[in-house]
Amino acid sequence: MVLRLQLVNLYHISKINLLSKKFLGFDRNDSNISAGTPLKDELICVSKGIPVLSCNGLPWKWPIDLKVQEWVFRIYLTSIQFMDSSKRLPCNCVYELDSSACDLIPNLLPIGPLPASSDPGHYAANFWPEDSTCIGWLDKQPAGSVIYVAFGSTGNLTQHQFNELALGIELVGRPFLWVVRSDFTDGSAAEYPDGFIERVADHGKIVSWAPQEEVLAHPSVACFFSHCGWNSTMDSISMGVPFLCWPYVVDQFLDQNYICDKWKVGLGLNPDENGLISRHEIKMKIEKLVSDDGIKANAEKLKEMTRKSVSEGGSSYKNFKTFIEAMKH
């Protein structure tokens, strides 16, 4: 668990290093540098090949707590000197997926995709115990039919937004596997809309946590409704599963830009005038995603790309050998 999480963080801190330097290059009159808060919404272009990012989607932005935002921003600033002085930074990425960023970080060693664990009984990078009953449920569903919904180990929704999510999933009418943590709604147990559990009982499965890699590898899964954390992003790309993106904090907005704009393996959601993702938006985007053959084809291409990278002679295979040799000296 520690190894995988550290490698993921190294990769994103490296890319955030690039964003931080670009951000700090802005005119100081345009931003509150100490807190990492831009005074206007500008676009940041680090390099050709790296998706443009809005200032409001910067990885250290925190939607509610400005004190947390400043704390996270300062951690990223502190990391710059350490990243720049490091000889090698092994990371959970594939060079071909993000060559533009990798080329700007000369000490980076992409060695992904990295599985959470090869031991079925080990929780690896998970913070919650897995409910493996969902695999037997998936076995009973038609191929390419299931919407897998999971928003990571820390994301939260308001009760109102949770209701819209539940009703949006219901409106689609397809089989779904939904991971609902016990603290999913503002740190508390969620309350489902009246009659929801009864209405979806014949085609829905709700668990507190799922063995994600096994789920994404299952032939019944059609798409991944995700917060776009990097572990989840690499898991889904490795299995060729398209995304419906709902980022929340830190790297997730940048990941969405890669998923939707660069790799073209997913779709994003648009909030209404009140900032709410409505049930109708959810239904419309899921239906659009599962019927888009172009996105499916792109997802399959990335799947093959990642598998070649870890095969003998592949980029990740070579980088891992380089890392092992360096460790011997």
Express each pLDDT in 228-248 by its tens digit: 998 899 999 999 999 999 998
- How many other C-beta atoms can be found within 10 angstroms of the C-beta atom of residue 201? 9
Domain identity same for 137 and 264:
yes
**Position 297 in a domain:** no
**pLDDT, position 53:** 76
Rounded to an integer, the average pLDDT of 96-103 is: 88
Does the N-terminal peptide bond of residue 113 adopt cis geometry, omega within 30 degrees of 0?
yes
pTM: 0.86
At 325 the three-state DSSP class reads: helix
DSSP for 57-104, written as a single string: G-TT--SS-HHHHHHHHHHHHHHHHHHHH-S-EEES--GGGSHHHHHH
Which tokens in the block code for residue 268?
Answer: 């994003």
Domain identity same for 231 and 100:
no
CA distance 284 to 287: 5
With a CB cutoff of 8 Å and minimum separation 6, the contacts of 33 are 24
**pLDDT, position 5:** 39
CA distance 9 to 26: 25
**Structural domain harbouring 252:** 133-291
Instruction: Return the ∠ at Cα 168 (arms to 233 and 227), rounded to 5°.
Output: 20
Domain identity same for 164 and 60:
no
Residue whose pair of structure tokens reads 């049930």 in the numeric block: 279
Q: What's the domain count of the chain?
A: 2
